[in-house]
Amino acid sequence: MEWLYESWSGEEPEFNQHSNTKGALEVLDWAYQTYKEDIVYACSFGVEGVVLIDLISRVNEEAKIVFLDTGLHFEETYQLIEKVKARYPKLKIKMKQPEESVEEQALSKGEALWEKDPGQCCNLRKIVPLHEELDGVSAWISGLRREQSPLRQKTNYLNRDNKFQSIKVCPLIHWTWKEVWRYVYEKDLPYNPLHDQGYPSIGCAVCTERVLSGSDSRAGRWASQEKTECGLHLDSASSR
């Protein structure tokens, strides 16, 4: 039943968005039955990430998870990853690093590339590494939610990903911010304490700022730049 990117018609199975997990658990169960070892979860370890990890562990406790370790993340993020590893010891969590360290990048591209050319910095430290991880992989999982931003409102459970030539599985598309946090509290999940300090979306420390109450959840990402996405989720065609 494995779906290949090139031959996929764009039709998806029926998932019950009114279930207890708004279809998320059903989507994950289908995805792991369909792709088995040929699927990876690219996790940023934001609050949606810990929710997805918990859901994934209920379906496949040995699932493969990759974290794009840019070398520029908050210390709180690295501490959270260690807590997650301890809670879910069977998960295969990989810390994927770019070819160049931050120091090497400074020598080859100049200091603070994220300020001069954030698009290039994201490409080198996130997009290229993820390309390497997804090379030959049929599907990958993302924690995108429709509520997060206008660019994400048309995301479906299953999406043809032109950038990475794979199928992008998005189980949380119908979840609201309140529902994400309700699940965290009910399951007593560990999460990044920066969320309690005005950071709804957490990326690299050099490109993430606090967000004013009532603002777009991604307003703190590249706040001084004409940029709202790192590029991982651009150029994807929806399934419908």
Give the residue numbers annotated as catalytic, written as ranges: 230
Output the CA–CA distances (angstroms, integers) from residue 68 to 45, 63, 157, in the order listed. Answer: 10, 16, 22
Query: Are the CB atoms for 159 and 239 separated by under 8 Å?
Result: yes
Query: Can you tell me whether residue 140 is helix, strand or coil?
Result: strand
Tokens of 123: 């490409």
111-138 b/e with 16+ CB inside 10 Å = b? eebbeeebbebbbbbbbebbeebbeebb
* Pair type for strands 158-161 and 139-141: unpaired
Task: Give the C-alpha separation, 124 to 147, whole Å.
Answer: 28
Indicate the burial class of 172 (C-beta count within 10 angstroms; 0-12, 13-18, 19 or more): buried
Task: Give the C-alpha separation, 153 to 150, whole Å.
Answer: 5
Task: Give the C-alpha separation, 240 to 160, whole Å.
Answer: 10
Query: Are the CB atoms for 65 and 92 separated by under 8 Å?
Result: yes
81-95 b/e with 16+ CB inside 10 Å = b? beebeeebeebebee
